[in-house]
Amino acid sequence: MKIHGAELFEIRLRLKERFETSFGAVSEREIVLLRLEAEAGVSWSELVAENEPYFSGETIVTARHILRDFIAPLLRAHEIAGGADAGRLLGRIRGNQMAKAAVEMSLWNLEAMETGVPLQRVLGGTHDRVRSGVSVGIQSTPSATLDTIERYLARGYQRIKVKIKPGHDVELVRSIRDRFPKVPLMVDANAAYSLADEACLQALDAYDLMMIEQPLHCDDLLDHSRLARALKTPICLDESIKGSRDCKVALCLGSCRVINIKPGRVGGFGESIAIHDACRAASIPVWCGGMLESGVGRAYNVHLATLPGFTLPGDISESARYWDEDIVEPPFELGPGGFIGVPAGAGLGITVREELIRRHLVAQERLF
């Protein structure tokens, strides 16, 4: 496979609702899309980096630098056998997982396009639909949180995730359980706590949570293993798992009983599949997280979540949960029972609405 051209499109999309976590709030997303040209056609992918270095040290600015000055010359100079071969090509670049993921996943998509099959087929997916959950950001009041949850449950989502932070945790969860005693419920701390908060986190054991996601430092595995022994509620790791090596260490230490796989966070599909396989061998369930992606990034997540180890509902919500108008056709919709269908057709199975990209365009850059 030879890449004949690469171009970046930075767009700005306004979220339907403000989304707040323990490290800040956003009302709009600046999204960088990568367009690769090859014999099989054009492949679009999405860079999930953000403007601020809060979720990750990688930002849109740093990722564009890596794509322009290091990855683009590699793509221009080398033939690539397919998605699995991308790791060999990009492996010499340390870190910068989000920049590498945008390219690596697009190369998997081009491989699927060349062979005329849906992307999930080349990844090893086994399902034609995926279980859908929804993430509820920090709201202005507890009653607003409850009303938001009720609205999402009425839509049919299979699981509710609620963002927490110190001072916005146990009483909130208690109020949710009082109103929704049976709903599958988890909380996400985005690394807002420390071992000094053990008693507070232990108090959450009383509320039958599916898991507590990333309670401690974003780079930590050791303290999570200590906390895991003190809690009845399973710990799920997100930010701490930056690749398959972190996964192996976490499983060895007993740092978690669930892992959230975000392909953009770990460098793409190759690492995602390696984490999936290691967790499946250890009987550790995984699910697919989200980064407030447009429909382009969501399509990649949907195809990945068809692998057999993704047994828990992921943060793969319908397009209308985020955007008044998504940039892909068809938009992702929540089906009966709280599932989202896998797009049919070769590759991603979606059409990128280039007129909408032009409408929301902030910057455009030809790499080669």
Q: For residue 76, what pLDDT is reported?
A: 96
Cβ–Cβ under 8 Å, residues 270 and 104? yes
Q: For residue 23, what pLDDT is reported?
A: 83
Mean pLDDT of the chain: 97
Look up residue 248 and give its two tokens.
Answer: 């192996």
φ, ψ for residue 141, nearest 5 deg: -145, 160
Identify whether 165 is a catalytic site residue: no
Residue (of 158, 134, 160, 121) closest to 342 by Cα position:
121
Q: What percent of the chain has pLDDT over 90?
A: 98
Q: For residue 24, what pLDDT is reported?
A: 87
| Average pLDDT of the segment spanning 154-165 | 98
pLDDT at 46 over 90: yes
Residue of 16, 182, 242, 262 with catalytic role:
262
Residue of 163, 182, 242, 248 with catalytic role:
163
The C-alpha atoms of residue 112 and residue 119 are separated, in whole angstroms, by 5
Q: For residue 324, what pLDDT is reported?
A: 96
Report the DSSP beta bridge partners of residue 136: 162
Q: For residue 267, what pLDDT is reported?
A: 98
Identify whether 163 is a catalytic site residue: yes
Using CB atoms within 10 A of its CB, is residue 234 exposed (0-12), middle (13-18) or buried (19+)?
A: middle
Q: For residue 9, what pLDDT is reported?
A: 98
pLDDT at 32 over 90: yes
Q: Is the peptide bond before 73 cis (omega within 30 degrees of 0)?
A: no
Amino acid in position 135? S
pLDDT at 100 over 90: yes
Look up residue 251 and give its two tokens.
Answer: 């499983």
